[in-house]
């Protein structure tokens, strides 16, 4: 059964569609500029709707501007299995980020149809609205609205740099598409699977065509304000100073030591450090610095993040310190059963796989809150992404699609 479905996946058909999609917003340097709800995005959606129609897939949308193509199930009332990603790109994005997940879904469904598989549950290919968040920030708008994590009215009021609101850009996008029925937000989903390029170099380095994504790395960010006292660099004895730079750098060093001692997966970055008055002959009276802390394991992220205020307090010397947490997005782990299915299908198809966390965020983060979810990664050259040079091998893209097709058949049976 798995083999019969997999052999229907066409590497050339998938590749041709990827290259056709890459013309919508093509840049001179071989990349893609197809920002959310732009004319290029609308053209890509129209192309997708056309390909779906040729396969008998019904297109629909919802109030958030997500696009769905539905393969009807034997049980029309059963909650659908969803698969997809996003069609929008960064201003200087590549040909594969997002669009691969959507077209892998289409290719997988076409393979199921050709193999004569009639799933019990409907299968829907989805293109989530504005994943990237480059034109309208922050991104993940479609999947957050779908999962009920963000207010739709608030999303519609977000404006781009030209002052155009999401609501108006969405109206323009709809006008460029055939009329589509509107599905309710928050309808039940049986499962969600997202195929995506890895955007990191691990699969390529290990020569594994399939990544079984264990989860999505979480992130905590902080702003630390260290207050000392401005003083004359030539007349104030060291013991009497309240030097905010000395205190802040002691904190940074201790935070770095603590994180580095934890394990190899921790990401710790102080990317911004501002001293005041920032003058060569004045002892700094104030330093503000940022902390960006990431780890795929939630207990570790919690432990290290919770330690930040105490470490700063212990290193403050004669200065005072105030720590504010700005972002706390927990790490998540996809269900073990989903990961096991992906691993087993890859094994049955004789494609080597590797378990690995996603270091970047994806729409699957939101879907994970409402349905059993999983992700399939394929390698991309040098791990380069969000870049016009982004590249993935046709054979790897097809291998990921074969695993996806077999997985969809199982989840929808
Ligand atoms: Zn993406």
What angle (nearest 5°) sits at the alpha carbon of residue 176, between those of residues 173 and 179?
Answer: 95
8 Å CB contact between 385 and 159: no
User: In this predicted structure, what is the pLDDT of residue 326?
Assistant: 86
| Ligand 1 centre distance from Cα of residue 22 (Å) | 15
3-class SS string, the chain: CHHHHHCCCCHHHHHHHHHHHCCCCECCCCCECCCCCCHHHHHHHHHHHHHHHHCCCEEEEECCCCEEEEECCCCCCCCCEEEEEECCCCCCECCCCCHHHHHHHHHHHHHHHHCCCCCCCCEEEEEECCCCCCCCCCCCHHHHHHCCCCCHHHHHHCECCCCCEHHHHHHHHHHCCCCCCEECCCCCCCEEEEEEECCCCHHHHHCCCEEEEEEECEEEEEEEEEECCCEECCCCCHHHCCCHHHHHHHHHHHHHHHHHHHCCCCEEECCCEEEECCCCCEECCEEEEEEEEEECCHHHHHHHHHHHHHHHHHCCCCCEEEEEEEEEECCEECCHHHHHHHHHHHHHCCCCEEEEEECCCCCHHHHCCCCCEEEEEECCHHHCCCCCCCCCCHHHHHHHHHHHHHHHHHHHC
User: In this predicted structure, what is the pLDDT of residue 327?
Assistant: 83
Q: pLDDT tens digits, residue range 186-227?
A: 899 999 999 999 999 999 999 999 999 999 999 999 999 999
Cα distances (angstroms) measured from residue 351 to each of 69, 107, 111, 241: 28, 18, 18, 63
| Ligand 1 centre distance from Cα of residue 85 (Å) | 7
Secondary structure of residue 352 in the 3-state scheme: coil
| Ligand 1 centre distance from Cα of residue 47 (Å) | 19
8 Å CB contact between 97 and 35: no
DSSP state of 129: S
Tokens standing for 200?
């990191």
Q: pLDDT tens digits, residue range 400-410?
A: 999 999 999 99
User: In this predicted structure, what is the pLDDT of residue 1?
Assistant: 84
| Ligand 1 centre distance from Cα of residue 295 (Å) | 19
| Ligand 1 centre distance from Cα of residue 361 (Å) | 8
| Ligand 1 centre distance from Cα of residue 90 (Å) | 9
Pairing of strands 267-269, 286-295: antiparallel
Secondary structure of residue 247 in the 3-state scheme: helix
| Ligand 1 centre distance from Cα of residue 257 (Å) | 33
Over pLDDT 90: what percentage of the chain? Answer: 97
Tell me what the mean pLDDT of segment 367-380 comes to.
98
**What are the two backbone dihedrals, phi and then psi, of residue 360, each rounded to the nearest 5 degrees?**
-105, 160
Q: pLDDT tens digits, residue range 33-66?
A: 999 999 999 999 999 999 999 999 999 999 999 9
| Ligand 1 centre distance from Cα of residue 276 (Å) | 39
| Ligand 1 centre distance from Cα of residue 86 (Å) | 6
Q: The pTM is what? A: 0.88
Question: pLDDT at residue 148 above 90?
Answer: yes
Protein residues within 5 Å, CB atom, of ion ligand 1: 97-98
């Amino acid at each position: 059964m798995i083999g019969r479905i997999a052999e229907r996946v066409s590497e050339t058909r998938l590749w041709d569609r990827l290259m056709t999609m890459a013309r919508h917003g093509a840049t001179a340097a071989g990349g893609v500029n197809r920002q959310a709800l732009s004319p290029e995005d609308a053209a890509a959606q129209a192309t997708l709707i056309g390909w779906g129609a040729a396969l008998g897939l019904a297109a629909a949308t919802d109030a958030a501007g997500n696009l769905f193509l539905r393969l009807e199930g034997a049980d029309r009332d059963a909650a659908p299995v969803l698969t997809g990603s996003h069609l929008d790109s960064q201003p200087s994005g590549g040909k594969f980020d997002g669009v691969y997940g959507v077209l892998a879904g289409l290719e997988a469904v076409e393979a199921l149809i050709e193999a004569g598989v009639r799933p019990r549950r409907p299968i829907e290919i989805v293109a989530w609205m504005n994943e990237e968040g480059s034109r309208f920030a922050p991104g993940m708008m479609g999947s957050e609205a779908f999962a009920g994590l963000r207010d739709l009215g608030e999303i519609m009021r977000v404006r781009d740099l030209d002052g155009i609101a999401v609501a108006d850009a969405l109206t323009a996008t709809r006008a460029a598409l055939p009329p589509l029925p509107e599905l309710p937000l928050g309808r039940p989903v049986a499962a969600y699977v997202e195929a995506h390029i890895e955007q990191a170099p691990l699969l390529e380095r290990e020569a594994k065509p399939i990544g079984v994504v264990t989860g999505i790395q979480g992130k905590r960010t902080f702003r630390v304000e260290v207050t000392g006292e401005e003083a004359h660099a030539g007349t104030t004895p060291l013991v009497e100073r309240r030097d905010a730079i000395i205190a802040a750098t002691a904190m940074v060093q201790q935070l770095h030591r603590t994180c580095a001692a934890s394990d190899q997966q921790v990401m710790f970055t102080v990317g911004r450090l501002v001293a005041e008055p920032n003058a060569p002959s004045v002892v700094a009276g104030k330093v503000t610095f940022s902390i960006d802390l990431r780890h795929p394991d939630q207990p570790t992220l919690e432990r290290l993040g919770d330690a930040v205020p105490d470490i700063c307090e212990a290193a403050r010397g004669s200065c005072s310190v105030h720590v504010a947490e700005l972002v706390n997005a927990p790490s998540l782990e996809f269900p073990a059963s989903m990961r096991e299915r992906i691993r087993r299908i890859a094994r049955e198809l004789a494609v080597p796989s590797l378990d690995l966390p996603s270091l970047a965020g994806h729409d699957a983060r939101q879907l994970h809150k409402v349905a059993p979810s999983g992700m399939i990664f394929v390698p991309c050259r040098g791990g380069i992404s969000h870049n016009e040079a982004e590249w993935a091998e046709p054979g790897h893209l097809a291998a990921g699609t074969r695993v996806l097709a077999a997985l969809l058949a199982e989840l929808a049976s």
